[in-house]
């Protein structure tokens, strides 16, 4: 079974919305505003590209990332990696032609079936709505979180507020950086 990894930039109060500056959120770009850039804090992002066997995205994140990532050298490994988009509305005609093989999945059952295939880990970037649904369905196996020393208040959250049984996590890697960012890697305990 393939490992499904949710990777996120998250504020201390759990917000994941618009970390890179996406329009429409008043705190957009919070990952780089007034925060010293330390390359070592982002080492895990390069490691994710090298280790992942596929990328899984929700429709909104796919549309945002596919507009810029295919031509960015920083994301070159993702260009050739198989991509899967969970959407009930996208069609093959909505997919970009310059970002490699992309398959549309229609449901969480399709994601569960994808996890049963051969291959390396499946990495989920952005995709707040999808992440909440995957977590609630018990499909996430690992979290790669870069926690920023910020309280953003309102905004899309990584985790839902669904009433459910306790889900235990095991901390398998962590580090704190001089700029206040904390790396936390958790495995989901089954």
pLDDT in tens, 84-121: 999 999 999 999 999 999 999 999 999 999 999 999 99
3-state class (DSSP) for residue 190: coil
pLDDT band (50, 70, 90) for residue 22: confident
Average pLDDT of the chain?
96
Provide the edge-to-edge strand list for the sheet that holds 83-86. 102-105, 83-86, 54-58, 122-125, 4-11, 142-148, 182-188, 169-176
**pTM of the predicted model as reported, rounded to 2 decimal places:** 0.96
- pLDDT at position 44 over 90: yes
Higher local confidence (pLDDT), 183 or 33: 183
Tracing tokens 């994601």 back to the chain, one arrives at: 111
Q: What is the pLDDT at residue 58?
A: 97
- Cα dihedral 83, 86, 91, 95, rounded to 10, equals -30
Question: Tokens standing for 66?
Answer: 């596919």
Q: Which residues pair with 5 in a beta bridge?
A: 123, 142
Q: 138 and 177 in contact (C-beta within 8 Å)?
A: no
Confidence class for position 56, pLDDT limits 50, 70, 90: very high
Question: What pLDDT was estimated at residue 133?
Answer: 97
**Residue 30 pLDDT > 90:** yes
* Coil, strand or helix at 16: coil
Q: Which residue has the tokens 């707040």?
A: 128
Percentage of the chain lying above the pLDDT 90 cut: 96
């Amino acid at each position: 079974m393939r490992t499904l990894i949710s990777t996120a930039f998250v504020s201390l109060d759990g917000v994941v919305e618009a970390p890179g500056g996406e329009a429409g959120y008043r705190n957009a770009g919070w990952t780089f505003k007034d925060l010293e850039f330390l390359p070592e804090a982002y080492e895990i992002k390069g490691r994710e590209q090298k280790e992942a066997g596929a990328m899984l995205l929700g429709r909104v994140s796919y549309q945002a990332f596919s507009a810029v990532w295919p031509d960015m050298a920083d994301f070159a490994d993702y260009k050739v990696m198989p991509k899967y988009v969970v959407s009930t509305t996208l069609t093959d005609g909505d997919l970009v032609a310059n970002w490699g093989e992309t398959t549309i999945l229609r449901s969480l059952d399709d994601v569960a079936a994808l996890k049963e295939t051969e291959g390396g880990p499946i990495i989920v970037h952005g995709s707040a709505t999808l992440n909440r649904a995957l977590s609630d369905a018990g499909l996430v196996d690992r979290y790669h979180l870069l926690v920023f020393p910020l309280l953003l208040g309102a905004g899309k959250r990584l985790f839902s507020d669904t009433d459910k049984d306790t889900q235990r996590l095991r901390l398998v890697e962590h580090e704190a950086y001089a700029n206040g960012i904390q790396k936390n890697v958790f495995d989901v305990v089954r």
